[in-house]
């Protein structure tokens, strides 16, 4: 059975966010092969096209490399650049073999200038070999972030048929990384002085929206990518004060198309949605179970009009706008409270009444034993007196 509840923020009962389906909403003219628009904080999917199709991400791979390095190593530790790292093809920051560079600086060179040599130096420093890096980065992405259809063979995104991901997984990776302030700061850096051993320059982001060459208000971060097999790829984040958005675009032939897709998606998101926080200890109950939040959570709401929630007895919840379009599906099972019967069964294993039974039996047995022995002793004494 499903209950429909009018959704007003001050009386929100509970939320945990998984996914939003908005293809049925306003139709957008999207040219890229695969795109996703997500709420950066709630992971709600606000619009998507082929979001689960395997694609080649090119340099968007470096988003994963960056957060893996930031969370696994010390950001200020020194990295000695190997000969293998400087031999990598493509865009570079012109590192020298034997040069010692802080890890943070390499991450900056990798994200801002898309340096493949910096990415390789990071991976080799972290894991010692590309083979070990391949194992560890994929384990990190699955266990920490929960990707389901991603496999990376290198840290930079140069083409490999076994190096793939999806727009959905990349959205999850980007949103996860944005929770880290170091990553967020570097991801949003427009320019940076670079004083390298063989290259003294200023790095400028390649992302035209972040750089401001294509004007759009609220852009907060971005990463570009291109190899022939991937074509144009683009990751973009933006905020308007009411919602933070993430857009992933994959497989566009021309730059103008992927940027236009991104602008259209951001405009759509800003015009339709906002993010709200559901406070700690917020609770709701369906016919059989009670759910209580153990942490504050984000939920995506329609910008205009109240939302409606459907709650099932299985602990599933869906958020709809006033036109009955589904915005967000929710799993509440992790917040389920134990029932009285469940608590009783657990307590029953250790209650004094249960444990006292064996003790009482032992006491009675011992007491009877003493009584019996006492009786034997008295009989023996009487016999001795008679004989005497």
The CATH number linked to 199 is: 3.40.710.10
Whether residue 156 is found in the same domain as residue 265: no
For residues 361-370, average pLDDT: 49
Mean pLDDT of 346-353: 36
Q: Which structural domain, as residue segments, surrounds residue 85?
A: 56-229
Cβ-in-10-Å burial (0-12, 13-18, 19+) of 259 comes to: buried
Domain presence at residue 48: no
Query: Residue 172: its pLDDT value, please?
Result: 98
- Looking at the structure, tell me whether residues 210 and 94 fall in a common domain: yes
pLDDT interval class at 28 (50, 70, 90)? confident
Highest averaged pLDDT of the listed ranges 89-98, 305-314, 347-356: 89-98
At residue 45, does pLDDT exceed 80?
yes
Evaluate the CA torsion angle 86, 92, 96, 98 in order and state its sign.
negative
Q: Are residues 314 and 252 in the same domain?
A: yes
The total number of structural domains in the chain stands at 3
Which of residues 305 and 162 earns the better pLDDT score?
A: 162
CA–CA dist 218, 240 (Å, integer):
6
pLDDT, mean of residues 284-306: 83
Tell me which of 106 and 315 has the higher pLDDT. Answer: 106
The residue annotated as part of the active site, out of 32, 48, 62, 230, is 62
Task: Judge if 66 and 187 occupy the same domain.
Answer: yes
Q: Which comes out higher in pLDDT, residue 10 or 147?
A: 147
Residue 344 has pLDDT above 80, yes or no: no
Higher pLDDT, 371 or 190: 190
Q: Are residues 73 and 159 in the same domain?
A: yes
Span 242-259, mean pLDDT?
98
Is the domain of 144 the same as that of 160?
yes
* Confidence category of residue 342, pLDDT binned at 50, 70, 90: low
Query: Per the residue annotation, which of 40, 48, 114, 230 is the catalytic one?
Result: 114
Examine the residue annotation and report whether 220 is marked as an active-site residue of this protein. Answer: no
Asked if the model's pLDDT at residue 373 lies above 60, the reply is no
pLDDT more than 90, % of the chain: 64
Alpha-carbon span 166 to 177, nearest angstrom: 16
Say whether pLDDT at 188 is over 80.
Answer: yes
For residue 27, the model assigns a pLDDT of 67
Tell me, what's the pLDDT at 15? 34
Output the pLDDT for position 327: 83
Q: Residue 362 — pLDDT band, cuts 50, 70, 90? A: very low
Q: What is the mean pLDDT of residues 260-268?
A: 98
Regarding whether 102 and 60 lie in a shared domain, the answer is yes
What per-residue confidence (pLDDT) applies to 374?
57
3-state secondary structure the chain: CEEEEEECHHHCCCCCEEECCCCCCCCCCCCCCEEEEEECCCCCEEEEECCCCCECCHHHHHHHHHHHHHHHCCCCCEEECCHHHHCCCCCCCCCCCCCEEEHHHHHHHHHHCCCHHHHHHHHHHHHCCHHHHHHHHHHHHHHHHCCCCCECCCCCCCCCCCCEECHHHHHHHHHHHHCCHHHHHHHCCCEEEEECCCCEEEEECCCHHHHCCCCCCCEEEEEEEEECCCEEEEEEEEECCCCEEEEEEEEECCHHHHHHHHHHHHHHHHHHEEEEEECCCCEEECCCCEEECCCCEEEEEECCCCEEEEEECCCEEEEECCCCCEEEEEECHHHECCCHHHHHHHHHCCCHHHHHHHHHHHHHHHHHHHHHHHHHHHHHHHHHHHHC
Q: Which of 145, 158, 148 is nearest to 88 (CA)?
A: 158
Residue 258 near residue 232, CB atoms below 8 Å: yes
Domain finish residue from 229, 261, 291: 229
The pLDDT confidence band at residue 356, using thresholds 50, 70 and 90, is very low
How does the average pLDDT of the chain come out, rounded?
A: 84
Examine the pLDDT at 354 and tell me if it is beyond 60: no
pLDDT band at 363 (very low <50, low <70, confident <90, very high): very low
Q: Is the dihedral of CA 317, 320, 322, 323 positive or negative?
A: negative
Domain boundary among 297, 312, 337: 337
Do 255 and 329 share a domain, yes or no?
A: yes
Are the beta carbons of 298 and 42 closer than 8 angstroms?
yes
Instruction: Clarify whether residues 71 and 152 are in a common domain.
Output: yes
Neighbours of 17 (CB within 10 A): 22
Go through 56-81 and write b for each residue having 16 or more CB atoms within 10 A of its CB, e for each that does not: bbbbbbbbbbbbbbbeeeeeeeebeb
Asked if 71 and 134 sit in the same domain, the reply is: yes
Let me know: does 12 contact 282? Beta carbons within 8 Å.
Answer: yes
Q: Dihedral (C-alpha) 71, 199, 231, 53: value to the nearest 10 degrees?
A: -10
pLDDT digits (tens, 9 = 90+) for 92-138: 999 999 999 999 999 999 999 999 999 999 999 999 999 999 999 99
Concerning whether 40 is annotated as a catalytic residue, the answer is no
Identify the band that residue 154 occupies on the pLDDT scale cut at 50, 70 and 90.
very high
Name the catalytic one among 16, 34, 48, 59.
59
Task: Single out the residue in 177, 206, 229 at which a domain terminates.
Answer: 229
Give Rg (Cα) of the chain: 31
């Amino acid at each position: 059975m499903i209950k429909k509840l009018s959704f007003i923020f001050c009386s929100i009962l509970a939320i945990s966010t998984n996914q939003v389906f908005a293809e049925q909403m306003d139709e957008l003219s999207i040219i890229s092969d695969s795109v996703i628009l997500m709420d950066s904080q709630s992971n709600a999917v606000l619009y998507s096209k082929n979001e689960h199709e395997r694609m080649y991400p090119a340099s968007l791979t470096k988003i994963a490399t960056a957060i893996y390095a930031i969370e696994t190593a010390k950001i200020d530790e020194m990295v000695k650049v190997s000969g293998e790292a400087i031999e990598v093809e493509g865009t570079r920051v012109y590192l020298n073999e034997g040069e010692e560079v802080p890890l943070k600086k390499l991450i900056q060179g990798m994200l801002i200038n898309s340096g493949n040599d910096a990415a390789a130096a990071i991976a080799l420093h972290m894991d010692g070999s590309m083979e070990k890096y391949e194992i560890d980065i994929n384990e990190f992405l699955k266990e920490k972030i929960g990707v389901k259809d991603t496999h990376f063979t290198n840290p930079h995104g140069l083409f490999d048929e076994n190096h793939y991901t999806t727009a959905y997984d990349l959205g999850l990776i980007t949103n996860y990384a944005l929770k880290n302030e170091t990553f967020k700061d570097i991801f949003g850096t427009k320019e940076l002085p670079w004083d390298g051993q063989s290259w003294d320059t200023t790095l400028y982001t390649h992302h035209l929206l972040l750089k401001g060459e294509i004007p759009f208000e609220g852009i907060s971060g971005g990463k570009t990518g291109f190899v022939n097999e991937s074509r144009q790829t683009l990751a973009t984040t933006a905020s308007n004060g009411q919602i933070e958005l993430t857009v992933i675009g994959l497989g566009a032939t021309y730059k103008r198309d992927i940027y236009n897709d991104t602008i259209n998606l951001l405009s759509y998101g800003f015009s339709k949605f906002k993010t709200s926080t559901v406070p700690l200890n917020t609770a709701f109950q369906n016919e059989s179970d009670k759910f209580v939040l153990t942490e504050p959570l984000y939920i995506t709401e329609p910008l205009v009009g109240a939302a409606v929630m459907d709650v099932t007895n299985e602990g599933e919840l869906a958020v709809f706008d006033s036109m009955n379009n589904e915005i967000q599906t929710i799993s509440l099972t992790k917040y389920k409270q134990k029932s009285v019967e469940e608590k009783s069964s657990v307590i029953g294993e250790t209650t004094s009444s249960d444990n006292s039974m064996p003790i009482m039996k032992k006491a009675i047995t011992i007491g009877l034993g003493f009584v019996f022995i006492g009786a034997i002793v008295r009989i023996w004494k009487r016999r001795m007196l008679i004989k005497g």
